[in-house]
């Protein structure tokens, strides 16, 4: 039988893995963990998952910024960045909007991190490309992920008290 520390360590690892690989569902893992019934406070579980999720999404964020060198097959060709085009123009306008409207940027990050609409993985990449400040990404992303998984972890207890 796993100890509480072992369960939290496993939960952290799965949350990082699910942040990196969309085929892994941390939500299903949490539901299975809660069905097993460990005596872990909901907020501790949400804190561990949010930390792992943001840690994994930071890799997407930094890769999109160009701070992490990706394998050759995932990199853009250098000559593509030199040519003008609609995508490049749109990204320049998007970067300017993010700089000019930091509350809007933080709101989009918060909503995406909480509801996953638009998918938080895509928003993390977009935030990296747009060079959103790291503090904005961390604060909004962590808060949203904590709320999302806090609600999920607290749901069985809340439903139990209502019934």
pLDDT tens for 144-154 read: 999 999 999 99
Q: How far apart are CA 137 and CA 158, in angstroms?
A: 30
Tell me the C-alpha to C-alpha distance, in Å, between residue 37 and each of 56, 62, 102, 133, 147: 26, 37, 41, 39, 21
Does some domain include residue 93? yes
Kindly state whether residue 77 falls inside one of the protein's structural domains.
no
Number of domains in the chain: 1
Would you say 49 and 10 are in contact if contact means Cβ atoms under 8 Å apart? no
Q: Do the domain assignments include residue 79?
A: no
CB 147 within 8 A of CB 114: yes
User: What number is the average pLDDT over the span 6-30?
Assistant: 94
Q: What is the pLDDT of residues 40-85, one digit of tens each?
A: 899 999 999 999 999 999 999 999 998 887 777 766 665 455 567 8
74 domain-assigned:
no
Better-predicted residue by pLDDT, 2 or 155: 155
Residue 28 covered by a domain: yes
What residue numbers bound the domain in which 24 lies? 4-69+84-162
Residues 6+ apart with CB under 8 A from 72: none
- Side-chain-side CA neighbours of 23 within 13 Å: the count stands at 0
The answer on pLDDT for 121 being more than 80 is yes
Residues 6+ apart with CB under 8 A from 44: 8
Banded model confidence at residue 94, pLDDT cuts 50, 70, 90: confident
pLDDT reading at 35 higher than 90:
no
Q: Six-digit token pair at 65? A: 């910024």
Closest CA to 11 of 159, 113, 152: 152
């Amino acid at each position: 039988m796993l100890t509480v520390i072992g369960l939290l360590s496993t939960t952290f690892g799965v949350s990082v893995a699910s942040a990196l690989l969309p085929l892994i569902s941390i939500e299903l893992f949490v539901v299975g963990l809660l069905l097993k019934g460990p005596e872990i406070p909901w907020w501790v579980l949400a804190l561990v998952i949010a930390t792992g999720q943001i840690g994994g999404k930071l890799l997407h964020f930094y890769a999109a910024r160009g701070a992490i060198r990706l394998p050759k097959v995932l990199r853009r060709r250098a000559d593509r960045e030199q040519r003008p085009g609609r995508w490049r123009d749109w990204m320049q306008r998007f970067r300017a909007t993010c700089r000019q409207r930091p509350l809007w940027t933080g709101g989009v990050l918060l909503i995406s991190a909480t509801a996953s609409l638009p998918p938080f993985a895509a928003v993390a990449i977009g935030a990296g490309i747009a060079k959103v400040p790291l503090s904005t990404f961390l604060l909004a992303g962590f808060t949203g992920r904590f709320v999302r998984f806090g609600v999920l972890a607290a749901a069985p207890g809340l439903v139990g008290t209502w019934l």
